């Protein structure tokens, strides 16, 4: 199959590229490098030992997308391109709505024009209302608390409406929980620009001496150890979920939504302790005030994905900690 990977120079997209090549698929990659890097693409080439067509382009640019679909007979699109920083989406909402909605609209229009009807869309657990009880099922109430999450809800609705209007479309919406870890080679991984907002990159950068200590945002939540609970899923598992979704989309028209998580809640303290233990480290840490907007507990019900996609996460917490640290020690200077 020939698969277009939008956002393929980013964290998740680059792992998708490596896996698709390993499975013998052809890929075409489009990324505007707003957050992705050439180093991630080079990592994919090293891992796979093969080259692939890459278009440095903004996928809101209809002419540029047109060229890609004209030059390649695409069978399926995995659509990762998007802006994802929750905090920035609050301070720059227009940029977020503009990018995440228009990229999806332009992509859908161009797909339809070229008779390409299969898409796997990167949605997020950030679409769920914090009022839900856990575990979160695909039927839990939606209600994002920030513009980023709202762009994902809106994209989901656009894609659902498209599938109703055009029954040839087959779209799989994947609501990711917290993606962590890195490729086992240590050649690609999560390498945020500037100071990371997310826990795992902050932990690994602190271990590498880039920050003086990890601040744990709140230890007075109503959870067993007082720190927030999330569902961390290893990037390799997350990518396996996409491979299952691609297969599912071949057999099922319409629009279907799935959580991609482990179903297991891990607290901030558990994660830091596991990182220390796995890697023989002792991270400097302190307790800081709660981070505004955080909610105590979120983890997935993985049942629907298990039943319908035949997907189940396999990697352990130790795998997540080991692979994150392996990549951090390997980060090429161009990716810092």
- Per-position x/- string for 205-244, each x denoting binding to ligand UDP as judged by CB under 6 A, each - no binding: ---------xxxx----------x-x--------------
Per CB under 6 A, 33 contacts ligand NAD = yes
Nearer to ligand UDP, 140 or 178 (CB): 178
Per CB under 6 A, 12 contacts ligand NAD = yes
Which residue in the list 11, 55, 96, 148 is annotated as catalytic? 148
Q: Is residue 148 among the annotated active site residues?
A: yes
Nearer to ligand UDP, 34 or 223 (CB): 223
Segment lying near ligand NAD (by CB under 6 A), choices 5-13, 69-77, 264-272, 305-313 = 5-13
Nearer to ligand NAD, 35 or 170 (CB): 35
Per CB under 6 A, 54 contacts ligand UDP = no
Which residue in 77, 268, 300, 321 binds ligand UDP (CB under 6 A)?
268
Distance of closest approach, residue 155 Cβ to ligand NAD, in angstroms: 9
What is the CB neighbour count within 10 angstroms for residue 211? 16
Per CB under 6 A, 285 contacts ligand UDP = no
- Per-position x/- string for 90-119, each x denoting binding to ligand NAD as judged by CB under 6 A, each - no binding: ---------x---x----------------
The residues annotated as belonging to the active site are 148
């Amino acid at each position: 199959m020939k698969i277009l990977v939008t956002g393929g120079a980013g964290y998740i997209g680059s792992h998708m590229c490596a896996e698709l090549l390993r499975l013998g698929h052809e890929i075409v990659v489009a990324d505007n490098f707003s957050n992705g890097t050439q180093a991630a693409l080079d990592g994919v080439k090293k891992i796979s030992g093969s080259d692939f067509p890459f278009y440095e382009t903004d996928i809101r640019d209809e002419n540029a997308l047109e060229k890609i679909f004209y030059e390649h007979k695409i069978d399926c699109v995995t659509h990762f391109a998007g802006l994802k920083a929750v905090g920035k989406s609050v301070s720059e909402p227009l940029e977020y709505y503009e990018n995440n909605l228009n990229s999806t609209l332009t992509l859908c229009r161009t797909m339809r024009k070229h008779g390409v009807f299969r898409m796997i869309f990167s949605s997020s657990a950030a679409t769920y209302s914090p009022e839900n009880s856990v575990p979160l099922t695909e039927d839990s109430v939606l209600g994002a608390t920030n513009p980023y999450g709202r762009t994902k809800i809106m994209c989901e609705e656009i894609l659902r409406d498209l599938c109703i209007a055009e029954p040839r479309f087959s779209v799989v919406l994947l609501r990711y929980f917290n993606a962590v870890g890195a490729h086992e080679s240590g050649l690609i991984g999560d390498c945020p620009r500037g100071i990371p907002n997310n826990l795992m990159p902050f932990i690994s950068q602190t271990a590498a001496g880039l920050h003086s200590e990890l601040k744990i945002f709140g230890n007075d939540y109503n959870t067993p150890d007082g720190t927030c609970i999330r569902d961390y899923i290893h990037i390799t598992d997350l990518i396996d979920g996409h491979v299952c979704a691609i297969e599912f989309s071949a057999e099922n028209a319409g629009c279907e939504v799935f959580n991609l998580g482990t179903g297991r809640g891990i607290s901030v303290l558990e994660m830091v302790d596991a990182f220390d233990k796995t890697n023989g480290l002792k991270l400097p840490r302190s307790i800081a005030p709660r981070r505004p907007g955080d909610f105590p507990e979120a983890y997935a019900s993985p049942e629907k994905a298990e039943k319908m996609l035949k997907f189940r996460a396999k990697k352990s917490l130790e795998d997540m900690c080991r692979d994150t640290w392996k990549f951090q020690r390997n980060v090429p200077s161009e990716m810092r």
